[in-house]
Structure 1
Amino acid sequence: MKIEIHPKYNQLATFIRSLPEQFDRTGTVIYEGRNVLRKYSVGGINLVVKRFKKPHVINRFVYGTFRSSKACRSYQSALILLEKGIPTPFPVAYIEEYCWGFTDSYYVSLESVSVREMREFCTNPDICDRRFILESFGLFTARLHQLGILHLDYSGGNILFKTEGNNVFFELVDINRMHFKQVGEEEGYHALRRLWVTDEIYKEIARGYARGRGFDEAIACRRILHYKNQFMRR
């Protein structure tokens, strides 16, 4: 078993080492599907632990030999994001288990303080302050791309937000699939295709994105909608 714990949270070492044995019978389930997320409170610290789905046999060898686990990539991506000033729940630790190759991995982070998800706009397009939130989101995405951050699963459930007065704050989760590289104009438009919102909402996001990156607004709207339509036809 391999464990890495952030030095700020060494006091949680006993709890973290016990997770593989006790995960299935402790904590509170907050999501159960391909992966499982459980919430814990340890010494007054609220944590979320994500256990990733076991890889199939071939990938057990790949992850154990050539490629970092999803838990490791989540931990490392969180450190990079925070260093660049992009909010994400603070990375506490990751665990990798091995038995005849790689088997399970766990990512431990602080619980997010942002309780809303951008996918709210999929089912409720008339949210209060909609235009302000959406254009702010476009600006946030532009900032990500200007910083060389490309989230490969940039969907509504992986982008959290909260409003405070006249400000909107965004936070990234599910960060095991990230590229840190220069993001070109077309690549930036393509990254927005997974949001599953109406064309009108996309246009408001595109306005903020174009303004944030100094692009032509009409071109941004047209290209983002092109990639959205292409994605939804799959």
Structure 2
Amino acid sequence: MKHTFSETYIGEQEEICAMIANFDTQGKSFDERDRNSLKLFNIGDETINVKSFKVPHLINKIAYKFFRSSKAERSFTYAHKLLENGILTPTPIAYFEEETILFGHSYYVSKHLKYDLTYRELTTEGIYKGNKKILAAFAKFTYTLHNKGIHFLDHSPGNTLIVIKDDGYDFYLVDLNRMNFGSMDFETRMANFERLSFNESDIAIMAKAYAKESGEDQEKVYKAICNATQSFQEKFHKKQQLKKKLKFWKKA
């Protein structure tokens, strides 16, 4: 395995390399998904989070080997870039890439964060659903991202971890491998809200907070987010219908 470590974790290199070597048989499963899997390991009093990316298809095996940075490398690089810009993310530790003829397994290692909720719990059933203070604080956080030229392409309900503090909230970004950096026009900023909530009352709260921070007209922001959200939903449903048709044809 080829690997790169953050300077502060060089001393734990041997133990972390052992985690990767034994990923399939050791560690505690934390989040199993179709594409990737997460496991937790311990080093002393610290809990380490290891994300294993699914081995890509042939075209991406070639692309990641010769032309593009892997998801693991991008996660590691972007985590450091976020922290340099004052944006929180679980502490990056290392990334690993399997050295074969073509690209194979890859892993991103970070410090496990104990959090209170994800953004998803603001929009689904639970004690935080529709929480105005957290929604407004999240919108201000999103403005901070935009103002710093950080376009988080996977700005979706499960990818922001929220820590509740006595004086407010801390927002941590995860699943970092898709980001752009640079100035964004108004439409791009508003489209960044498209996957977060389909509830008009949630959008109204976030639009008010974002408008206050940015100086934009509140009604303009609200309508733009609603339009972006509606457009996303329409594209999503069309995609789902197409998948159903393809599955039907495969079974036929």
5+ residue gaps, structure 2? 236-252
Equivalent AA in structure 1 for residue 233 of structure 2: M
Residue aligned with 2:105, SS:
strand
Equivalent AA in structure 2 for residue 94 of structure 1: Y
- Report deviation, 1:98: 2.3
- Report deviation, 1:196: 3.4
Judged with a 3 Å threshold, the aligned counterparts in structure 2 of structure 1 residues 25 and 98 are, in CA distance, closer, same or farther, namely same
Equivalent AA in structure 2 for residue 4 of structure 1: T
Q: Give TM-score scaled by structure 2 length.
A: 0.89
Q: CA RMSD in A?
A: 1.5
Residue aligned with 1:169, SS:
strand
Equivalent AA in structure 1 for residue 21 of structure 2: E
Larger RCO: 1 or 2 (CA < 8 Å, sep 6+): 1
Equivalent AA in structure 1 for residue 28 of structure 2: T
- Report deviation, 1:128: 7.3
Partner of 2:249: none
Partner of 1:91: 92
Question: Equivalences for 1:1-234 in 2 at 5 Å?
Answer: 1-33=1-33, 34-124=35-125, 127=128, 130-234=131-235
5+ residue gaps, structure 1? none
- Report deviation, 1:214: 1.3
- Report deviation, 1:160: 1.1
Residue aligned with 1:12, SS:
helix
- In structure 2, C-alpha distance between the alignment counterparts of 1:114 and 1:51, rounded to whole Å: 21
Judged with a 3 Å threshold, the aligned counterparts in structure 2 of structure 1 residues 109 and 54 are, in CA distance, closer, same or farther, namely same
Percent of counterpart pairs with the same letter?
A: 36
Q: Give TM-score scaled by structure 1 length.
A: 0.96
- Report deviation, 1:99: 1.7
- Report deviation, 1:165: 2.2
Is residue 116–residue 164 contact of structure 2 (8 Å, CA) maintained in 1?
A: no
Residue aligned with 1:103, SS:
coil
Is residue 142–residue 212 contact of structure 1 (8 Å, CA) maintained in 2?
A: yes
Larger Rg: 2
Is residue 61–residue 101 contact of structure 1 (8 Å, CA) maintained in 2?
A: yes
Q: How many residues align?
A: 234
Equivalent AA in structure 1 for residue 75 of structure 2: S
- In structure 1, C-alpha distance between the alignment counterparts of 2:126 and 2:44, rounded to whole Å: 40
